[in-house]
Structure 1
Amino acid sequence: MGRFEQARENIRRAYEAGRASVRAARAEQTRRYEETQFEPEEPTAAAIVHNSTTSRDDAEVPGGLRVAAAWSWRLLIVGALAWFVLYGIVMLSTVVIPLIIALLLAALFSPAVSWLRQIGLNRSIATTIVVIAGIALVAGTLTAVISSFVTGLPEVTTNAKEGLREVENWMRHKPLNLTDLQFTKIGDAAQKWFDDNRDAVTTGFISTATTTLHVLAGFFLVLFSLFFLLRDGRQIWRFFVGLMPAATREPLDFAGIAAWHSLVSYVRATIIVAFIDAVGIYIAMVILDVPLKEALAALVFLFSFVPILGATISGTIAVLVALVAKDPLTALILLAAVIGVQQFEGHVLQPLIMGRAVAIHPLAVILAIAGGLVIAGIIGALIAVPMIAMLNTGIRALVARRRAASPEALAEAALPTAT
């Protein structure tokens, strides 16, 4: 052994001897502290080894409290992050909501664009044809609904006047027995309320005009966003995934594709369910000869895009029109038909058409709709459920992917199968 190796060996031995002496001194100090502070027969918390603690003070805290504290600060951070995200969505709602609506429409029209591209059309041309056809379809539907409403409105107005006259005659007789003076007081009270709230009504009209401008701006934003999502949606998604850390790109892409397929399935299934609801209630109104049949059927179709609540609200409106325009018996029969259609939807159509890919618990649906109403009104209720469906599918896809890649799953897959 050379002198250099011998010197290195001596240094190593001296270092190990120093470490051993330090460890012995620490052990002796801990032993003296325990003997002077605690009874020998009772083990101290400081003597207990905790994998999650780094100091004697942490060891004095009960394990359950430490776990609760650890969960608490993590939940506070996640809650604060969620609050900032929701606050940003509310502040940018005039941009975010049209973008989400464009995303839903892109999920609806993307199969048509894919079919046109398969037959040889250019991507831009195929997208333009689909967007123009969609605008024409929406414009034609609105025109038919407005025409039906204008045509049937005089009949409804006449029947409503007759109904009000009957109510007035009923109030003049038993059990109320109201006099002309009392009717005059009721009219004066209504006029006084209108005068007192004239400023609020005027402000409401101004707000409505401002909202109309926002709706027009949102319409053009939806139109342009829809065009580029249909034409360059895959490239936009790849660009977004490329901005993420390298380790998360592949899982994020996997979850995003699964969520997109779930959204496409959800939109298709919702349209089918809404169409069946509208046709069923329309047939009942045709049989009962209820006015504004076409307009009410279109209303049922549109409101059916809001799960659970939408069909209930549109069905209630149809029943009220039947009550005003016809008689209580007709309204009662239509109410039974609406309930029957909704029961058929809830117990047959939803489980059969929606499928397991977008299955969401009814409580989650109600909470999502309520949250959407609070954040963005009717539009928020419309887009809340599909967004929850996408999030649900994406998380499930990530969990399934992680389980499939786990060592236990790989080992199980490698086992020979019995023949």
Structure 2
Amino acid sequence: MVAENEPAPAKAMPASWSARTPPRWLPRALLYAALAVAGLIAAFWALDKMQGLLTVLMVSLFLAFAIEPAVNWLAARGIPRGVGTGVVFGAVLVVIVAFVWTLGALLINQVSMLVTNAPTYIQDLVDWVNKTFHQDISGDDLTDYASEWSSTIEKYLVGIAGNVWGIGTVAIGALFQLLGVLLFTFYFAADGPRFRRWVCSLLPPKQQKHVLRAWDIAVDKTGGYIYSRALLALCSALAHYVALRVLDVPSAFALALWVGVVSQFIPTVGTYLAGALPVLVALVHDPITAVWVLLFIVAYQQFENYILQPRITATTLDMHPAVAFGAVIAGAALLGPTGALLAIPVTATLQGFAGAYVRRYDVIDATDTPSESAGSTDE
């Protein structure tokens, strides 16, 4: 019998209560999860803020890959890599300055000629409209329309002039980005072997072989893309120069240079932009000549697509046109104009990397039966 002052025995805790008690690792897991989420948010914030720098680095690496074969060629002949990179930079700069200078002279000549001959063009246009559509339009009507348009254009120009501070800021930012691209490109090309060794020093020996092979493929494909485009641009410029001289189109050299460079180095729409300018210049002087220029551009484009380009790109950058078109669209969707320019060499690099590591098999003809295949194997 239990004494009156003796405490009652403690009741056992139900099994359901002990199951509801949180495990000891749960608070630590929640803390780690919160830290991981915070780290991801901070990483995305940093990537968003450094988007401009990452774009500069990506473009610089692409340009360094493009000029590295030339720098390696000079370095193999005893020229230091820094000096060789400077020589390649100087050659590229001379080509760019010559291109801009030539097109600037073309633009000035055509604009001045258009302004000088504007009254004659307007009167010829009025006579053609009156004769074709049986109208009775005078030059005074077009002058009134021109005055209205000039006042509208003047308002837009005044608005642009009022925002000159913002335009200047954008121009300064673009200039700094250009200088950054040039600086990083020079360092990536001049210190290419040292940079590769530093990257590989962070990886185990087994992975270093794959990284070096991928690096070589990227240099080979990117350089092949640039040099094949340059050769195609040279062929296009020479062909169009001869045609424009034969057709007596003014500024034939500048127009041929424009067609060669723009048609090869601007993806997808470059062909149309390149062909529009010589057609417009020829149209100002003689509509019949403009038709002949258009026919030659179309004919040469077919010759380039089906005969010239496959032979030039067979040893440098062999890519199906549909794949190239899709790559340009995807690159433009991801990174805008920069992505469109980088899409083709990046896709070619991935294609070359896949060709080096992905095993391919011979395709069996559908007409072959298993017994025929086995019999041919036994033989």
**TM-score, normalised via structure 1 length:** 0.64
| Equivalent residue letter for 1:318 | P
Tell me if 1:323 matches 2:295.
no
Partner secondary structure for residue 341 of structure 1: helix
Pairing partner for 1:309 from 269, 274, 278 = 269
The one-letter code of the counterpart of 1:113 is V
Q: Would the aligned equivalents of 1:254 and 1:397 in 2 still touch at CA under 8 Å?
A: no
Counterpart of 1:154 (choices 101, 104, 112) is 112
After TM superposition, list the pairs within 5 Å mapping 1:373-392 onto structure 2: 373-374=332-333, 377-392=336-351
Task: Provide the C-alpha distance between the structure 1 equivalents of 2:58 and 2:320, rounded to a whole number of angstroms.
Answer: 22
The residue that corresponds to 1:110 in the other structure is: 68
Unaligned runs of at least 5 residues, structure 1: 1-80, 404-417
Q: Work out whether 1:131 is the aligned partner of 2:112.
A: no
Q: Report the aligned-residue RMSD.
A: 3.6
The 1:180–1:158 alpha-carbon spacing in structure 2 relative to 1, beyond 3 Å, is closer
Cα gap change, 1:313 to 1:113, in 2 (>3 Å): same
CA distances 1:52-111 after superposition (whole Å, capped 9, x unpaired): xxxxxxxxxxxxxxxxxxxxxxxxxxxxx9xx99x95x8655434444443444344333
Partner of 2:32: none
**Aligned partner (choices 338, 353, 358) of residue 297 of structure 2:** 338
CA contact (8 A) 2:71 2:85 kept: yes
Amino acid at match of 2:269: L
Match runs of 1:167-178 below 5 Å: 167-172=125-130, 174-175=132-133, 176-178=135-137
Alignment check: 8 A CA contact 1:277 1:342 kept: no
1:234 counterpart letter in structure 2: P
Shift of 1:301: 2.8
Quick one: which amino acid aligns to residue 254 of structure 1? R
CA distance in 1, matches of 2:143, 2:113: 28
Change (3 A) 1:344 1:207: farther
Give the residue type in structure 2 aligned to 1:370.
I
1:102/1:222 contact within 8 Å kept:
yes
Evaluate the alpha carbon distance shift between residue 173 and residue 357 of structure 1 in structure 2; reply closer, same or farther with a 3 A threshold.
Answer: closer
| Structure 1 residues 335 and 139: CA distance shift in structure 2, 3 A | same
Partners of 2:140 and 2:119 in 1: CA distance: 21
**For 2:358, what is the secondary structure of its paired residue?**
helix
Q: Does 1:143 align with 2:143?
A: no
Matches within 5 A, 1:37-76: none
Q: 1:357 and 1:110, CA in 2 relative to 1: closer, same or farther beyond 3 A?
A: closer
Does the CA contact (< 8 Å) of 2:103 and 2:254 recur in 1?
A: yes
Select the residue among 226, 230, 254 that pairs with 1:267: 226
CA distance in 1, matches of 2:273, 2:163: 23
Question: Structure 1 residues 93, 279: CA separation in 2 closer, same or farther (over 3 Å shift)?
Answer: farther
Letter in 1 for 2:302: Q
User: In the TM superposition, what is the alpha-carbon distance from 1:331 to its structure 2 partner?
Assistant: 0.4
Q: CA deviation at 1:245?
A: 6.3
Alignment deviations for residues 2-61 of structure 1 (CA, whole Å, 9 cap, x no partner): xxxxxxxxxxxxxxxxxxxxxxxxxxxxxxxxxxxxxxxxxxxxxxxxxxxxxxxxxxxx
Give the C-alpha shift of residue 204 in structure 1.
7.4
In structure 2, the residue matched to 1:412 is none
What is the rounded CA distance, in whole Å, between the counterparts of 2:118 and 2:62 in structure 1? 39
| Residue 186 (structure 1) aligns with | 145
Which of 255, 267, 271 in structure 1 is aligned with 2:214?
255
CA distance in 2, matches of 1:147, 1:194: 25
**Number of corresponding residues:** 320
Distance 2:111 2:142 in 1: 27
Deviation track 1:374-410 (CA, whole Å, cap 9, x = no partner) reads: 555544432222222222222332324x99xxxxxxx
- The equivalent position to 2:241 in structure 1, one of 260, 276, 282, is 282
Mapped to 2, the partners of 1:200 and 1:207 lie a distance apart of 12
Residue of structure 2 in register with 1:29 after alignment: none
Q: Which amino acid aligns with 1:128?
A: G
Deviation at 1:122, TM superposition (A): 2.7
Query: Could you tell me whether the CA contact under 8 Å between 1:369 and 1:382 is conserved in 2?
Result: yes
**2:92 is aligned with 1:121:** no
Q: 1:164 to 1:276 in 2, by over 3 A?
A: farther
The TM-score with structure 2 as length reference comes to: 0.70
Equivalent position of 1:164 in the other structure: 122
Shift of the alpha carbon at 1:172? Answer: 4.7
Report the CA distance between 1:328 and its aligned residue.
0.9
Deviation string 1:217-250 (CA, Å, 9 cap, x unpaired) is 2332222122212211122233234445665443
Change (3 A) 1:393 1:208: farther
| Structure 2 residue aligned with 1:233 | 192
Amino acid at match of 1:322: A
